[in-house]
Copies of this chain bind each other. A is one copy, B any other.
Amino acid sequence: MRPDPSAVRTVVCAGTGVIGGGWVAYFLARGYDVVAWDPAAGAEERLRHLVDAAWPALTELGLAEGADRSRLTFEPDLARACARADFVQESAPEDLDLKRRLLADIDAATPAGVVVSSSTSGYPMTDMQTECATPGRTVVGHPFNPPYLIPLVEVVGGKLTDDDVVAWASDFFRLAGKSVITMEHEVPGFIANRLQEALWREALHMVASGEATVEQIDLSITDGPGLRWPIHGPMMTFHLAGGQGGMAHMLDHFGPSLLAPWTRLTAPELTTGLRDAVVEGCEREAEGRTIDDLVAERDRGVIAVLRALGRA
């Protein structure tokens, strides 16, 4: 009933602000026909400005065969737009009622079986699919700004989402060139936003209390841990902070400092179960790379990043 993910030709983008417009640019660059809809005054003009601004970057990265900005159609009527969809990506403002109604309208106008994905930054699909006649085809496909450059998409279904839709969306995004995390559980904010929101909230607290300025906060990241994070995530980073003993050494010896007042977020209790889950996760992720291998990989990466940004 659903088209094969590789058979998708036309993507409908509903909502074309910073995120939705970024999706439009991305899907155009990957060689899709894109039908865009947005009810805001001046939306089409802003969208074309955004696509034009993104196009040099996308061209430099390499366009798919046949990719062309002329394959963008702006359609003022939502039902007419959706009627053409092989896949729908919704990127409306973060307003739960609005998204509920819009997803129901999209669902009513989109051919049976076609998957409808939402860019929501944090609402569980369970809370958004409530008004849909066929909620089984709705799924979260959460991108990062700008969607035309950042590879990550987090895919997760709601209670009424069909199992095969989560798999279908994951396959489709991967075919379209994205890096996909398929989540087993609905978590408000998904994964990356929970992590970056914790950092952002701590930063806001620090500004509010006069502990740091906006500029100090940004510099502390761009010239500090931010240089490691494109290479190794927070877990692998601390795996290396433990020296040759890795994460096991780190948790067994520095566990007590987990409780130090280094952030306003209270640390979880470091149970044996949590300790083992983190250590074993790092070992799985390392896939046989030794600490020396990972250190060399990080060093090559940081040097490459510094050089690429003209800072070495």
Q: Chain A residues in contact with chain B, CB under 8 A?
A: 17-18, 53-54, 57, 60-61, 94, 121-122, 144-146, 149-152, 154, 179, 181, 183, 185, 187-208, 210-238, 240-243, 254, 257-258, 260-271, 273-274, 277-278, 280-282, 284-285, 292, 295-296, 298-309, 311-312
In the complex, A299→B145 CA distance in Å? Answer: 10
Q: How many copies does the complex hold?
A: 2
**11 more A-B contacts (CB under 8 A) besides A185-B210, A221-B234?**
A61-B306, A61-B312, A122-B262, A144-B224, A150-B223, A207-B274, A208-B274, A215-B284, A218-B236, A229-B229, A308-B308
A18 with B241, Cβ < 8 A, contacts A146-B299, A149-B303 known: yes
Indicate which residue in B57, B237, B284 contacts A300 across the interface (CB closer than 8 Å): B57
A260 with B201, Cβ < 8 A, contacts A61-B303, A217-B234 known: no
Indicate which residue in B53, B264, B295 contacts A265 across the interface (CB closer than 8 Å): B264
A196 with B199, Cβ < 8 A, contacts A215-B281, A231-B309, A284-B215 known: yes
B262 adjacent to A233 (CB under 8 Å): no
A214 adjacent to B284 (CB under 8 Å): yes
A281 adjacent to B312 (CB under 8 Å): no
In the complex, A186→B260 CA distance in Å? Answer: 15
